[in-house]
Amino acid sequence: MKVVIAPDSFKESMTAMEAARAIEKGFRQGIGNAGDLVTELIPMADGGEGTTQSLQDGLGGEVHTMDAVGPDGSTVKAEFVYIQKSRTAVIEMAEASGIGLVAKESRDPLTATSYGTGQMILKALDEGAERIILGLGGSATNDGGAGMAAALGVRFLDRSGNELGPGGGALKHLHRINTDGLDKRIHKVTVRAACDVTNPLTGTQGASAVYGPQKGAGPGAVQELDEALLVFGEVIERDLHKPVLLEKGAGAAGGLGAGAIAFLNAALEPGIDIVLEESRFAERSAGASLVITGEGKIDAQTVFGKTPVGVAKASPEGSTVVAVAGQLGEGYEKVYEAGIDAAFSMVPGIVSLEKAMQESTQYIENWARSLGGLWKT
């Protein structure tokens, strides 16, 4: 019997691989000697936090640590993974430009820059990357990826020919984009941007309106940022002939989705689809009777591009798909309409969030043992 174990990470408590190993251990204990058991561990992610770790665990690769310019201009330590065999770099923009790098009281999307993300891309090019997987999410920025592009040699100029300062607020003065200095190597690289949202660049559902407040933008700043990104999008379409204003996902990561399209010639794709393909899920899961997946919380939003449903849809025909979570939230039943056969919470009772996170590995192992015993019957 073949069992595929393909969970996402459980935020702040287990990586995807740690969860997969705990599930495997518990399931083997539960099923005992009931037939020959073959397990395939495929750590998953949906393009957000943990994507780099999951792909490294699943595919191997070397971690590169570097100094980069953080969102507020300070120097931060950023990591990416380079897989030599396939000449692939896996980069999460949040490593250099993430909201977690700036204290809550200091967040300012009017000035925050994605420059460090561009530096990571440059380093990947130096390593010989021919393919880049760029995770969009968790950003502190709202600069449309202008900072990233500036690190790659693009110049953003006002009417007087002066270069703009960093941050989304400066883009309201943008008059012209000069790409003469763009690193030529970028034209030879395939960039896949992992994006789990469909927000456009501007408007009521755009980057500024939806995500600006959590980055420290008040109502006035949200309007200013939205107007600035509109200017940014219009100049991109005029100077670079790249349609970004109406593109789904262009508003991801403070508009970095638009910047990835414009300056990296990237394709925006659901993150789970990229991870499934890169990890060869279809090939490795072939013949499985049972597929076990999961993540920290499963609720009504899980059906919109999250890992458990993505795994369910990609699982072999005829297999049983079981999902486990730390919490089953409101509307979780929707996952039953999306290919998941059963969903469970691994938490054994009423416990504090702190205890649930501390004991998560044991909880998920115990749950998997129960599942193994049930499956044996």
In DSSP notation, 198-222 reads ---SSSTTSHHHHHTGGGT--HHHH
Length in residues, the chain: 377
Say whether pLDDT at 35 is over 80: no
pTM more than 0.95: no
What pLDDT, in 10s, does the model give residues 76-134?
999 999 999 999 999 999 999 999 999 999 999 999 999 999 999 999 999 999 999 99
**pLDDT confidence band for 226 (50 / 70 / 90):** very high
Q: Which domains does the chain have, with CATH numbers?
A: 2-44+288-376 (3.40.50.10350), 51-272 (3.90.1510.10)
As a whole-number percent, the residues of the chain with pLDDT over 90 amount to 84
Q: How many CB atoms lie within 10 A of CB 216?
A: 19
**pLDDT confidence band for 223 (50 / 70 / 90):** very high
Q: What is the pLDDT of residue 346?
A: 94
Of the candidates 214, 279, 55, the residue with the CA atom closest to the CA atom of residue 222 = 214
**pLDDT confidence band for 289 (50 / 70 / 90):** very high
What pLDDT, in 10s, does the model give residues 193-203?
998 788 999 99
Average pLDDT over residues 50-59: 82
